[in-house]
């Protein structure tokens, strides 16, 4: 067995910090883990889980891999200080590509930087246990994939960070490596601008169905069953095709629900404006 990887998590008491440290802490044979946090409630939460909080600067300086588990809107401010504390040759991992794409992540030429994001458990993954099937977010037993990108630095160090990320989001079926802009097109473009928007509209439509006297549980069952089926169908995972009437309805939906020019969300200019607005909503660019 090789030497333990020294991992420091900054923001270890936040929502994502808690999830990733819970998994990292399960592997004391592979990971030498340090918890860094400043918020009083977050510190109390870490201690309630049975862990100690350590000073940030020496923990970052001694780390092989530092994980920055802070909200995207704080990366610009927080990363400046954290990156200055890093030792040459170490790595920093962020959990979302937005700040890196917007060039708000502090960088250094002598360190490696990476971004990781979970895919969350897919309903196409065959989960092994009731606990895993009940894990709809990930990190608590449900199989999931992750996506990663090297922002800059050493390939060898990136692979070490990749190992850490696969533990953070375990059990990981596959870790896909791409560039950070491709990850940004996955989120926000694919899953938030389009996916989350459409699904939110579907949830609102369930409310309307209920208002019209349709049993809410029946509406939810009907909607989610069809989403599962149609997703498999449209992605080529089901050896069948939708009815001609459904195709007509989709064409009408493109006119009545989606804008005719909705595919412009895949334009680079739109992506940059969306990310800038998400990071700074009081100064919208779109």
pLDDT, tens digit, for every residue of 6-36? 999 999 999 999 999 999 999 999 999 999 9
Average pLDDT over residues 89-115: 97
pLDDT at 2 over 80: no
Judge if 144 and 267 occupy the same domain: no
pLDDT at 51: 97
What's the pLDDT band for 133 if we cut at 50, 70, 90? very high
Judge if 46 and 134 occupy the same domain: yes
Q: Has residue 253 been placed in a domain?
A: yes
- Residue ending a domain, among 178, 196, 216, is 178
Average pLDDT over residues 126-149: 95
Judge if 154 and 224 occupy the same domain: no
Q: What is the pLDDT of residues 236-253, one digit of tens each?
A: 998 888 889 998 898 888
Judge if 217 and 198 occupy the same domain: yes
Q: What is the pLDDT of residues 186-244, one digit of tens each?
A: 999 999 999 999 999 999 999 999 999 999 999 999 999 999 999 999 999 988 888 89
Judge if 253 and 124 occupy the same domain: no
pLDDT at 229: 94
Judge if 174 and 216 occupy the same domain: no
- Residue ending a domain, among 151, 178, 205, is 178
pLDDT at 202: 94
pLDDT at 1: 55
Q: Has residue 269 been placed in a domain?
A: yes
Judge if 78 and 163 occupy the same domain: yes
Give me the DSSP letters along the chain.
--PPEEEEEETTTSHHHHHHHHHHTT-TTTEEEEEE---HHHHHHHHHTT--B--HHHHHHT-SEEEE-S-HHHHHHHHHHHHHHPPTT-EEEES-SHHHHTT-S---TTSEEEEEEE----TTS--SSHHHHH-SSSSSS--EEEEEEEEES-HHHHHHHHHHHHHHTPSEEEEEE--HHHHHIIIIIIIIIIIIHHHHHHHHHHHHHHHTT--HHHHHHHHHHHHHHHHHHHTT-SS----HHHHHHHHHHHHHTS-TTGGGGGSHHHHHHHHHHHH-TTS---
Judge if 91 and 165 occupy the same domain: yes
pLDDT at 173: 97
Give the burial string for 163-191 (b: 16+ CB within 10 Å, else e). ebbbbbbbbbeebeeeebeebbbbbbbee
What's the pLDDT band for 136 if we cut at 50, 70, 90? very high
52 is in which domain, residue-wise? 5-178
Using CA atoms, how far residue 146 sits from 209, 238, 253, 286, in Å, is: 36, 24, 32, 29
Who contacts 61 (Cβ-Cβ below 8 Å, separation ≥6)? 85, 86, 87
pLDDT at 271 over 60: yes
Q: What is the pLDDT of residues 148-187, one digit of tens each?
A: 999 999 999 999 999 999 999 999 999 999 999 999 999 9
CATH code where residue 151 lies: 3.40.50.720
Q: What is the pTM of this model?
A: 0.91
Query: What is the overall mean pLDDT for the chain?
Result: 95
Q: What is the number of domains present in the chain?
A: 2
- Residue ending a domain, among 158, 178, 198, is 178
């Amino acid at each position: 067995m090789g030497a333990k990887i020294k991992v420091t998590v900054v923001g270890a008491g936040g929502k994502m910090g808690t999830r990733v440290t819970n998994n990292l802490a399960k592997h004391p044979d592979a990971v030498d883990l340090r918890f860094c946090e400043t918020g009083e409630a977050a510190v109390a939460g870490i201690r309630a889980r049975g862990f100690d909080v350590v000073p940030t600067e020496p923990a970052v300086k001694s780390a092989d891999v530092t994980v920055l588990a802070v909200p995207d809107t704080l990366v610009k401010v927080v990363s400046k200080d954290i990156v200055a504390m890093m030792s040459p040759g170490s790595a920093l991992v962020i959990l979302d590509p937005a700040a890196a794409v917007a060039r708000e992540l502090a960088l250094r030429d002598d360190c490696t930087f990476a971004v990781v994001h979970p895919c969350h458990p897919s309903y196409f993954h065959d989960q092994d246990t009731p606990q895993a099937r009940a894990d709809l977010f990930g990190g608590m037993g449900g199989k999931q994939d992750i996506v990663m990108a090297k922002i800059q630095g050493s390939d060898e160090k990136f692979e070490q960070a990749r190992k850490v990320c696969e533990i953070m989001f375990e059990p990981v079926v596959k870790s896909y490596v791409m560039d950070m802009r491709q990850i940004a097109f996955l989120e926000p473009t694919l899953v938030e601008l389009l996916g989350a928007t459409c699904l939110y509209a579907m949830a609102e439509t369930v409310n309307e169905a209920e208002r019209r006297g349709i049993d809410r549980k029946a509406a939810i069952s009907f909607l989610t069953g069809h989403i599962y089926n149609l997703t498999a169908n449209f992605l080529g995972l089901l050896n069948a095709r939708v009815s001609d009437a459904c195709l007509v309805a989709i064409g009408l939906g493109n006119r009545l629900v989606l804008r005719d020019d909705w595919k412009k969300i895949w334009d680079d200019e739109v992506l940059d404006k969306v990310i800038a607005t998400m990071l700074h909503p009081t100064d919208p660019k779109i």
